[in-house]
């Protein structure tokens, strides 16, 4: 049985002032089994973030039905969305709501994102790359049954983004959490996802659903990723920039 | 050789910029001395010690009242009233401000009221409170609070409007309890606005308290100033005024400034 089942028949944004009503998503239907990572890939503005908001329950206004697995939900937003006036440790504690082994879990989560000493640092002092790691740690520390990732490595320099993707790859393998990743970056989708759902440009409609034929080792090999991305996504919506990581 | 001397000896010559900064720090005390000098000079020129006493006569009055026990007694009463009115105004004003900042209907309904109370002269509020409630302590405190509540509400409303929506979304996704959201998301964002309201509030409240005391209380700095006024005793008027100004400045130094440093630690 699917852990996550999404069926968005239609999602519209109502008319606002001079802007007319806008159809954002149509007939987006997919499922993810337990522990599976599904990537939603599409050009900017095709409603990917809207889709995540629907799945997260932040926006109840749509036609269709979404079934989430029981258990906790975790979301890594496009911006880290940390509390700048709290320390890293308190940012993680914030989502743990007084659970007994909070301290141990926080330490473990910070170690997992390779920031074992960041606990007492104010979140306002982190670099963007560090803040994204902390956002990942905050997501994992709740032991989610469903993990939502919204372009988690956007606006990082390429080497940092690549390192963080490798880190995320390990974390996903270790935690076996059902994951929905939204991205406009084909290689990111190929590297991290078991399956890819391609969306059209706005309004987002499903264009294809692809299975990624990569072993865990091959997912660490940029050349393999490039090759598969080029083969699977020949008429990809955005050109692949070729650069060394 | 003491530790500081040792440090001074070992330390390299300080750069020009640091030395200039230290020179700047002397400007404020110099400015105070200048004011005192001008005051003393004017008093000496006018040679009217009763109507325009110099700093020395005022200091003498302060000491006299202090020794007589009067100064601390009346200062204490005034401080109590200021504290009560200040607390009431901050509490009620903050609640109104948050409600108006978060709920559009309340903002629309509340705005004309706010405008009315912002423009209501303090003296009118005081007179009406004494007439309607009576010449009692509660009337005095309420009158002062009513004068300050609209200012607090306006300031806090700005803060409540500026709350970061994306952090509320984050808290909702992670199912964080409401109380924790209040403590870790809402209050830290409102803190600078509370502090601004508190600072301007204290400055306004203590001045209005003096008027309230002058009009209908049997003690307090305002009452004493009134009594001295009837005797044309300017030195005593200034003695009480300066003493209370000193207390207010102490609250700024020992209360607000350390509090602000604490609240803003994360920014540095």
- Chain position carrying tokens 């706010």: B114
- Nearest residue to A28 via CA among A64, A72, A69: A64
Q: Cβ–Cβ of B166/A95 closer than 8 Å?
A: no
Task: Say if B247 falls within a structural domain.
Answer: no
Q: Domain of B209: which CATH number?
A: 1.10.3720.10
- In 3D space, the residue among B195, B199, B217 whose CA is nearest the CA of residue B76 turns out to be B217
How many domains does one find in chain B?
1
Look at A95 and B174 and tell me if their CB atoms are within 8 Å: yes
Helix spans in A79-199 (H): 88-94, 102-112, 128-141, 158-175, 186-192
pLDDT on residue B58: 92
pLDDT of residue B59: 93
Residues of A in contact with B177 (CB under 8 A): 97
Tens digit of pLDDT for each residue in B98-125? Answer: 999 989 999 999 999 999 999 999 999 9
* Superfamily of domain A2-71+145-232, CATH level 4: P-loop containing nucleotide triphosphate hydrolases (3.40.50.300)
Domain that holds residue B211: 80-220
Separation in Å, CA of A85 to nearest CA in chain B: 5
ipTM confidence: 0.87
Read off the pLDDT of residues A183-226 as tens digits, 9 standing for 90 and up. Answer: 888 888 888 999 999 888 878 888 878 888 888 888 888 888 88
In the structure encoding, which two tokens stand for residue B173, read together? 């996704």
The pTM assigned to this predicted structure is: 0.79
pLDDT at A199: 84
Can you give the pLDDT at residue B18?
63
Exposed/middle/buried for A8, CB within 10 Å: 0-12, 13-18, 19+?
buried
The structural domains of chain A, with segments of one domain joined by +, span 2-71+145-232, 83-142
Domain assignment of residue B134, yes or no = yes
In this prediction, the residues of chain B whose per-residue pLDDT falls under 70 are 1-21
Please calculate the CA angle A224-A225-A229 and round it to the nearest 5 degrees.
Answer: 120
- Is residue B34 domain-resident? no
Q: Which residues of chain A have pLDDT under 70?
A: 1, 234-245
Determine if the peptide bond prior to A186 is cis (ω within 30°): no
A81/B166 CB distance under 8 A: yes
- B191 within a domain of the structure (yes/no): yes
**Chain A: residue whose CA lies nearest to B165:** A81
pLDDT number for residue A195: 92
Q: Which of residues 174-233 of B touch A (CB under 8 A)?
A: 174-177, 180, 184-185, 188
Q: What strand order describes the sheet that includes A22-33?
A: A22-33, A2-13, A63-67
Q: CA dist B63 to B50, B204, B224, Å?
A: 17, 27, 15
Chain CA centroid to CA B110, Å: 26
Q: Do B176 and A79 touch (CB under 8 A)?
A: no
Task: Note whether B162 contacts A: Cβ–Cβ < 8 A.
Answer: no
Q: Is residue B239 part of a domain?
A: no
CB atoms within 10 A of CB A104: 9
Chain A positions in Cβ-Cβ contact with residue B174 (cut-off 8 Å): 72-75, 94-95, 138, 142
Structure confidence at residue B140 (pLDDT): 93
Among B167, B180, B266, whose Cβ lies nearest the Cβ of A124?
Answer: B266
pLDDT at B38: 95
Q: What's the Cα-to-Cα distance from A241 to each of A23, A196, A228, B130, rounded to whole Å?
A: 30, 20, 15, 77
Give me the phi and psi of A212, to 5 degrees please. -90, 115
Contact state of B167 with A81 under an 8 Å Cβ cutoff: yes
């Amino acid at each position: 049985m699917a852990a996550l089942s999404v069926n968005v028949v239609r999602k519209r944004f109502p008319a606002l002032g001079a802007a007319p009503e806008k159809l954002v998503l149509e007939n987006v239907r997919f499922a993810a089994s337990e522990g599976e990572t599904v990537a939603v890939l599409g050009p900017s503005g095709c409603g990917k973030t809207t889709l995540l908001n629907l799945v997260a329950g932040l926006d109840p206004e749509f036609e269709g039905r979404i079934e989430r697995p029981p258990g906790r939900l975790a979301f890594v937003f496009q911006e880290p969305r940390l509390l700048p006036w709290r320390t890293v440790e308190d940012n993680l504690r914030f989502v743990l709501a007084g659970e007994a082994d909070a301290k141990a879990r926080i330490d473990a989560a910070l170690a997992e994102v390779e920031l074992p000493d960041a606990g007492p640092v104010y979140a306002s002092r982190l670099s963007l790359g560090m803040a994204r790691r902390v956002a990942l740690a905050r997501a994992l520390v709740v032991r989610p049954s469903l993990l939502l990732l919204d372009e988690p490595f956007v606006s990082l320099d390429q080497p940092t983004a690549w390192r963080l993707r490798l880190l995320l790859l390990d974390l996903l393998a270790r935690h076996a959490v059902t994951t929905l990743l939204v991205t406009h970056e084909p290689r990111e989708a190929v590297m991290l996802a078991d399956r890819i759902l391609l969306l059209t440009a706005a309004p987002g409609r499903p264009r294809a659903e692809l299975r990624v034929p990569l072993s865990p080792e091959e997912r660490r090999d940029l050349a393999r990723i490039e090759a598969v991305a080029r083969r699977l996504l020949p008429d990809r919506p955005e050109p692949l920039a070729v650069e060394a990581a | 050789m003491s530790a500081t001397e040792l440090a001074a000896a070992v330390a390299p010559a300080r750069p020009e910029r640091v030395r200039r900064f230290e020179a700047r720090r002397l400007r404020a005390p110099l400015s105070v001395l200048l004011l005192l000098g001008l005051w003393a000079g004017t008093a000496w020129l006018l040679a009217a010690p009763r109507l325009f006493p110099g700093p020395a006569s005022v200091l003498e009055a302060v000491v006299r009242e202090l020794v007589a026990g009067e100064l601390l007694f009346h200062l204490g009463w005034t401080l109590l009233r200021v504290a009560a009115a200040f607390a009431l105004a901050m509490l009620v004003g903050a609640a109104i401000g948050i409600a108006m900042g978060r709920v559009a209907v309340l903002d629309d309904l509340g705005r004309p009221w706010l405008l009315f109370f912002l423009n209501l002269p303090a003296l009118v509020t005081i007179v009406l409170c004494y007439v309607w409630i009576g010449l009692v302590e509660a009337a005095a405190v309420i009158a002062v609070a009513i004068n300050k509540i609209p200012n607090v509400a306006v300031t806090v409303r700005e803060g409540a409007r500026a709350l970061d929506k994306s952090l509320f979304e984050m808290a909702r996704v992670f199912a964080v309890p409401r109380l924790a959201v209040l403590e870790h998301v809402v209050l830290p964002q409102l803190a600078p606005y509370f502090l601004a309201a508190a600072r301007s509030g204290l400055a306004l409240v203590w001045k209005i308290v003096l008027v309230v005391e002058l009009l209908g209380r049997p003690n307090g700095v305002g009452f004493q100033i009134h009594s001295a006024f009837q005797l044309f005793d300017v030195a005593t008027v200034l003695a009480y005024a300066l003493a209370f100004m000193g207390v207010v400045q102490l609250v700024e130094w020992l209360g607000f400034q350390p509090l602000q440093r604490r609240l803003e630690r994360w920014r540095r």
